[in-house]
Amino acid sequence: MVTAVAQRLASQRKEIDDTLAAFALSPTQLQEVKAKMRVELERGLKKDSHPTASVKMLPTYVYRTPDGTERGKYLALDLGGTNFRVLVVKIRTGMRNSVRMYNKIYAIPLEIMQGTGEELFDHIVQCISDFLDYMGMKNTRLPLGFTFSFPCNQTGIDKGDLVCWTKGFKATECEGYDVVDMLREAIKRRNEFDLDIVAIVNDTVGTMMTCAYEDPKCQIGLIAGTGSNVCYMEEMKNIEFVEGDEGQMCVNTEWGGFGANDNIEDIRTRYDREVDGGSLNPGKQRFEKMTSGMYLGEIVRRILIDLTKHGLLFRGRITERLKTKGIFETKFLSQIESDRLALLQVRSILQHLGLDSTCDDSIIVKEVCGAVSRRAAQLCGAGMAAVVDKIRENRGLDNLEITVGVDGTLYKLHPHFSTILKDTVRELAPNCKVDFILSEDGSGKGAALITAVIDKYLYAMRFSDETLRDIMARFRREMENGLGRDTNPTATVKMLPTFVRSIPDGSEKGDFIALDLGGSNFRILRVKVSHEKKQTVQMESQIYETPEDIIHGSGSRLFDHVAECLGDFMEKQKIKDKKLPIGFTFSFPCAHTKLDEAVLLTWTKRFKASGVEGMDVVKLLNKAIKKRGDYDADIMAVVNDTVGTMMTCGFDDQRCEVGIIIGTGTNACYMEELRHIDLVEGDEGRMCINTEWGAFGDDGTLEDIRTEFDREIDRGSPNPGKQLFEKMVSGMYMGELVRLILVKMAKEGLLFEGRITPELLTKGKIETKHVSAIEKSKEGLTKAEEILTRLGVEPSEDDCIAVQHVCAIVSFRSANLIAATLGAILTRLKDNKNTPRLRTTVGIDGSLYKMHPQYARRLHKTVRRLVPESDVRFLLSESGSGKGAAMVTAWASRKVHVFTIQQISILNKCAKN
């Protein structure tokens, strides 16, 4: 009797062991799996074999992991895992661990998962709508990152055609279609809110990004959850079907498809085949069906049925419950296998599942679960070993240290899965030290980070008023440094005294010549100011060329050229025999000790003639004129173009006390109280200060707001490290900034389907006038198309819209930054006057301000917001700065000087001393 029972038990045991033996993989078998996976990874990457490869190796257009400088507020969707989630992710700049997330989980009912595509996307949009309401954010158009955990054929970061549904989804009319388009259309259908869909991201990629944010060594993403998949950073040159050889791109392996070419049939069991046969996608995702949460429970259930059939379990009774598909969810599998659980508790779980079990039954069930999950973990480990070895070989290393970011309920909840996985990787890839870190926040955070990586450079160009006020405060400090005797020598914003002490008072008259050098045109003018009943000004002018070789040649050649043009002008005006007083607008930073002495401190903008820096330009010009000997000249005043502009505008509006240029370069001057100007004797009255604000930031004060593009512009400029503020805002650099951003976006597949032409790569091919044209509200898009077509990039309509967007962001940033620095000057004037409300006029000139369709309006609006306690009139200088230079000259050349009251008081003071 005893022996009969013992024999029966032994034979039962053997039957169970035999059944489970098929799940035990030997080291050799695991090595084989690794080797086969490696072959499939390579096949997926190669152009020829890619179309038929079982492991698809899909490009993701994610070129790098986050570097911690990302910032912004993003919306993210996370669809395809156990939960559908809508999130808001706020990333504060420059600090890791500075991400805040708010999310809500929504159910996707089975009938929607397997209904029509339209129903599915309408449902998604309905959930977004609910979430936006819940967050009170319906009216903020946020950038959206979409984690979509299914294989997508991506042609850009925001374009992805669904290859095929996997796991539990089977909605119709989606396969082969662009998921982003479907989402956009559903948003349009709802017609309730708008979103910028910036990126579509696989969950593996989102997970890698989430983890890489914490650990820069993380270059692999693994999901062991409902599905199973891996992504990793691959060398571009190995991804044969994507253009370009430089750098890396993250590849979504879709390793779940491994086995589709029958190459792992030797290790598949009849249970695997049964599970596959009963799935939504028979024949597909064979590896996934052996390794992921959605199927492990099913394999277990099939084995249990089989064992029950053979009378080895549940007293041989196959109940309806046991016949029910999907009862063994991963969480139950994980609970049953927990070592902390007593057999009794296992029984109670089975009981809960409706499976009436004995104590022996629960032991066997636990064994079955163990065999199935162990194999899953080992298979994942073998696959991972193939991936890490590939990365190691890619990099030509003997040893590799790398981190895998992991997510998924199987990995997280199962008591042994992660340990077995790690052990297997260690055994099969002994030359790789692989760390695994758990993604705590899901892949939505990663999707937001990807969105942030893309949006980063554009985002970094948008400033809140808070930031602008901060910049305003910084500039005020710079102004104070420039004015102070002790701080001036090291100040970056030089605050140069101009020796211009008042704006025109209406008494000027005479016949003058003005030179206007340093803006986009070199102009010579004759300015006649007469004073019969009323002051009238007559002007005649001529533009002269300043060829590149002259502005980059020797200083003497430059001044010879100026003298020659002047001679020509006087000849034409028939005044060669006269010695008219000359006012010289020279639009570069000069140190004055008096009006007609101006030592060039440094060239800016395009100019770089040798032997001029450190020299008095009046002397240089006089020398050149003398050398010719055909006419005489009397240079009475040198003024900066900002000063000329202020004076020109001051002629029409006595309240004008600020002059700004937003043209090739940018700069401002304003009337400062003499008592605050330490560098000039005297305390009474005012003097115009040429701030030279273009140099703001040259000491690093603006590093936090400069972008990689600003740095690139600077590196390629004639004066690296100098005029950093000017390079962010002025016309000479704006087109180039746009071009660099477009190149970058094209490289990342965000524009022109990744097409990069030699023209697009050529410096100077996009000019500020193009930016202005593209931003025109009516014909802007047509202009964009024209301009881009000329660059050979064959833009789509979307491309044109995106380019317009880039232009707007760059020019908006410029207007905002100038609003901040001008705001600083205005608040200083207000404080100087000690008035609760400042009423003033700002004279402005420069091609950017004049030609750009939106610039002026943006600037005015922001200034009014930043300095609310002011009434500012912006007055465009219609006649250039030559007129103003003539006004200064008139003042300087007066034989009998008409002194203002303030000037008399200065003179009195001097006399006393």
In the set 641, 710, 799, 845, the catalytic residue is 641
Least Å from the CB of residue 388 to ligand GLC: 18
* C-beta of residue 474 within 8 angstroms of C-beta of residue 252: no
Long-range CB contacts for residues 830-835, cutoff 8 Å, separation at least 24: 830/867, 830/869, 830/870, 832/672, 832/673, 832/676
If residue 669 lies in a helix (H) or strand (E), which one and from where to where? strand 666-673
Judged by beta carbon distances under 5 to 8 A according to partner kind, the member of ligand BG6, ligand GLC, none in contact with residue 881 is: ligand BG6
CA distance 682 to 820: 30
Judged by beta carbon distances under 5 to 8 A according to partner kind, the member of ligand BG6, ligand GLC, none in contact with residue 306 is: none
Nearer to ligand BG6, 605 or 828 (CB): 605
CA distance 14 to 19: 8
Instruction: Name the one range near ligand GLC by CB under 6 A: 331-339, 584-592, 673-681, 790-798.
Output: 584-592
* C-beta of residue 414 within 8 angstroms of C-beta of residue 333: yes
Least Å from the CB of residue 575 to ligand BG6: 21
Judged by beta carbon distances under 5 to 8 A according to partner kind, the member of ligand BG6, ligand GLC, none in contact with residue 847 is: ligand BG6
How far, in whole angstroms, is CA 782 from its chain's centroid? 26
Give yes or no for residue 444 binding ligand BG6 (CB under 6 A): yes
* C-beta of residue 556 within 8 angstroms of C-beta of residue 564: no
Instruction: Name the one range near ligand GLC by CB under 6 A: 25-33, 485-493, 634-642, 797-805.
Output: 634-642
Nearer to ligand BG6, 213 or 631 (CB): 213
Least Å from the CB of residue 221 to ligand BG6: 10
Least Å from the CB of residue 439 to ligand BG6: 6
Judged by beta carbon distances under 5 to 8 A according to partner kind, the member of ligand GLC, ligand BG6, none in contact with residue 381 is: none
Nearer to ligand BG6, 78 or 119 (CB): 78
Residues contacting 843, CB < 8 A, separation 6+? 645, 646, 648, 649, 650, 653, 656, 658, 659, 660, 875, 877
Nearer to ligand GLC, 131 or 255 (CB): 255
User: Active site includes 678?
Assistant: no
For the window 152-191, what string marks contact with ligand GLC as x by the rule CB under 6 A? --------------xx------------------------
For the window 394-433, what string marks contact with ligand BG6 as x by the rule CB under 6 A? -------------xxx------------------------
User: Active site includes 610?
Assistant: no
In the set 43, 268, 286, 523, the catalytic residue is 523
For the window 732-771, what string marks contact with ligand GLC as x by the rule CB under 6 A? ----------------------------------------
Judged by beta carbon distances under 5 to 8 A according to partner kind, the member of ligand BG6, ligand GLC, none in contact with residue 642 is: ligand GLC
Instruction: Name the one range near ligand BG6 by CB under 6 A: 76-84, 383-391, 811-819, 900-908.
Output: 76-84
Give yes or no for residue 518 binding ligand GLC (CB under 6 A): yes
Residues contacting 767, CB < 8 A, separation 6+? 735
CA distance 682 to 190: 70
Give yes or no for residue 812 binding ligand GLC (CB under 6 A): no
Task: Convert 518-536 to b/e letters by CB count within 10 Å (16 or more is b).
Answer: bbbbbbbbbbebeeeeeee
Give me the sign of the Cα torsion angle 131, 136, 139, 143.
negative
Q: Which residue has the tokens 């199927």?
A: 295
Output the 3-class SS for 768-789.
HHHHHHHCCCCCHHHHHHHHHH
Least Å from the CB of residue 536 to ligand GLC: 28
Give yes or no for residue 373 binding ligand BG6 (CB under 6 A): no
Which of these, 268, 282, 261, 266, lies nearest to 40 by C-alpha position?
Answer: 261
Give me the sign of the Cα torsion angle 469, 473, 474, 479.
positive
For the window 214-243, what string marks contact with ligand BG6 as x by the rule CB under 6 A? ---------x-xx-----------------
* CA distances from residue 763 to 34, 732, 758, 808, 898 in whole angstroms, order as listed: 48, 12, 10, 20, 52
The strand pairing partners of 89, in sequence order, are: 74, 101
Using the rule CB under 6 A, which residue among 151, 383, 795, 880 binds ligand BG6? 880
User: Active site includes 845?
Assistant: no
* CA distances from residue 439 to 406, 436, 446 in whole angstroms, order as listed: 6, 10, 9
Q: Do the strands 400-407 and 432-438 form a parallel or antiparallel pair, or are they unpaired?
A: parallel
Residues that bind ligand GLC (CB under 6 A): 80-81, 149-151, 166-167, 202-204, 223, 225-229, 254, 256, 288, 518-519, 587-589, 604-605, 640-642, 661, 663-667, 692, 694, 726
Active-site positions? 523, 587, 641
Residues that bind ligand BG6 (CB under 6 A): 78, 80-82, 147, 149, 203, 206, 223, 225-226, 293, 407-409, 442-444, 516, 518-520, 585, 587, 641, 644, 661, 663-664, 731, 845-847, 880-882
